[in-house]
């Protein structure tokens, strides 16, 4: 566990500290982030395939690792996290934390006996101005997957995994939800649209079986603010069940989209427990 925590710290620092702000207006940084992710996948024994396209004249890449299933290889569980940031933010929690989790989940799943295929994808261009539009990396990927006829049984969007508080009142919510959920921001949340609620229930049950870290789940209409504000939306639009895994973003983290979203603000022991629980839950679902 200590080694996993150290690697998560190193990944977040490399992306948010050494590379920093990364998007098409800083193309060298965006490419450096892609190269870092590619190298970390390679260090775990995986060759990442690139889905490349141009946005604002800049080469952009989704990076995909495939772990084939042995008995039901056509059934796919997909885990994704975006590696770009908004302008003006180094993006430690948003979303170096999700990418770090993705890299370590790949490492954890290496060599495990899986019946279903697991794909791990680092997405580009999640942040504005690409969000909701065709140059969003996950939208490009999801449309291509639907055109190929990929049988994606579950998509997980890792969207900010590093912020946890034990203080009362540290967790905010959309209207009315505060009456049904904890007031302390010390849990990980699993969030889906209404059509994905069965997949949400299966994922949450698997996580609770394989981790004692506190978690909450919510299946909600997508008009609730924040519910669809990440890569899972691209897969909902393509007709796939998808769940966002999140520390609840701006409902908890005061440095969201700010220059102060830096690596030292994250809580890595809790993040480690979340990532290891997700890896074990995914291994169980893929079996």
Q: What is the mean pLDDT of each run of 10 residues along the chain (287 residues)?
A: 93 98 98 98 97 96 97 96 98 98 97 95 96 90 97 98 97 92 97 97 98 97 90 97 98 98 98 98 96
Q: Report the chain's C-alpha Rg in angstroms.
A: 17
- The Cα–Cα gap between 2 and 61 comes to 32
* pLDDT recorded at residue 55: 96
- Please, is 105 exposed, middle or buried when counting C-beta atoms within 10 Å of its C-beta (0-12, 13-18, 19+)? buried
Cis peptide before 95 (omega within 30 of 0): yes
- The Cα–Cα gap between 161 and 275 comes to 8
Decide if 253 contacts 163 (C-beta within 8 A).
yes
Give all domains of the chain, ordered by start, each with its CATH number: 2-286 (3.40.630.10)
Residues 6+ apart with CB under 8 A from 15: 22, 33, 36, 83, 91, 92, 96, 99, 100
* pLDDT recorded at residue 196: 98
Q: What's the whole-model pTM score?
A: 0.96
* pLDDT recorded at residue 133: 79
Task: Return the exposure string of 148-167: e unless at least 16 CB atoms fall within 10 Å of the residue's CB, then b.
Answer: eebebbbbbbbbbbbbbbee
């Amino acid at each position: 566990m200590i080694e996993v925590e150290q690697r998560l710290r190193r990944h977040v620092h490399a992306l948010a500290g050494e590379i920093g702000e990364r998007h098409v207006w800083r193309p060298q940084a965006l490419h450096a982030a892609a190269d870092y992710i590619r190298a970390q996948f390679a260090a775990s024994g995986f060759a990442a395939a690139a889905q490349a396209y141009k946005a604002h004249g800049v080469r952009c890449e989704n990076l995909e690792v495939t772990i084939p299933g042995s008995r039901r290889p056509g059934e796919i569980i997909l885990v994704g996290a975006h590696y770009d940031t908004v302008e003006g933010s180094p993006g430690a929690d948003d979303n170096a934390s999700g990418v770090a989790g993705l890299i370590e989940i790949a490492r954890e799943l290496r060599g495990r006996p899986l019946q279903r295929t697991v794909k791990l994808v680092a997405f580009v261009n999640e942040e504005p101005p690409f969000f909701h539009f065709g140059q969003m990396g996950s939208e490009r990927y999801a449309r291509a997957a639907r055109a190929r006829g990929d049988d994606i049984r579950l998509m997980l969007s890792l969207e900010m995994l590093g912020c946890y508080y034990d203080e009362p009142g540290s967790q905010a919510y959309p209207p009315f939800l505060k009456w049904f959920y904890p007031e302390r921001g010390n849990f990980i949340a699993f969030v889906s649209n209404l059509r994905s609620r069965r997949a949400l229930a299966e994922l949450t049950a698997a996580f609770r079986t394989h981790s004692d870290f506190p978690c909450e789940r919510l299946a909600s209409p997508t008009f609730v603010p924040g519910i669809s504000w990440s890569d899972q939306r691209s897969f909902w639009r393509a007709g796939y069940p998808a769940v966002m895994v999140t520390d609840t973003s701006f409902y908890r983290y005061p440095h969201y989209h700010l220059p102060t979203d830096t690596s030292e603000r994250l809580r890595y022991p809790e993040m480690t427990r979340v990532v290891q629980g997700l890896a074990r839950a995914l291994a169980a679902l893929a079996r």
